[in-house]
Structure 1
Amino acid sequence: MKKTLLLVVIMGVALVSAGCGPTYRTQQGAVIGAALGAWAGQDIGHNTESTLIGAAVGGVAGAVIGDAIEQYEYNNSTQYPYYRQQSGYYQSPPRRY
């Protein structure tokens, strides 16, 4: 019962802190991935080593997925049209004299 309550509290804190403030998708993905990985590692292995391995793997996977989402949003943004990727290179914005 104590482990379940602790995991619920950790998951709640991780999800709430991931939504606070202006953060990058990479950071959000790392936090959420680490929390889910720790939960899965504890559920599968029932020991500290499994929890730590799950948190590490989940954090890395979450950061990679978050970075991919962030890059996709940046490349398809209408806010920064001059920096969109076009034919393999980034076009610089026009000069203003």
Structure 2
Amino acid sequence: MESILKAFAQGNLLTAPNRVAHGSKQARAAARLAECEAALTAVLDPPARALLDNLEAAPWEAEDLAGTDRFVYGYRLGVLMTVEAFCGRDPLALGEDG
């Protein structure tokens, strides 16, 4: 189960089409990012470019790992809450008057 949860959290199991609408804020931001990266790359020497690549990759990697952990933890918490609701001593689950 955990491998499926991690794959889902990492976006490897899609639940909806992954499209960006042309002209949307997200599309404009992505275009601006690409323009800035191209301009900066043009003025950097190879060692500086390697440093920039590393700087760009590190936060994404850290966020990806943290996001996966948050998703898996949250999913497990939700399942435990569901189990408690159906199997615990909750009057609603036992059909008692509350």
> TM-score, length-normalised on structure 1?
0.37
Q: Which has the higher strand share?
A: 1
- TM-score for the superposition, normalised by structure 2: 0.37
- Bigger radius of gyration: 2
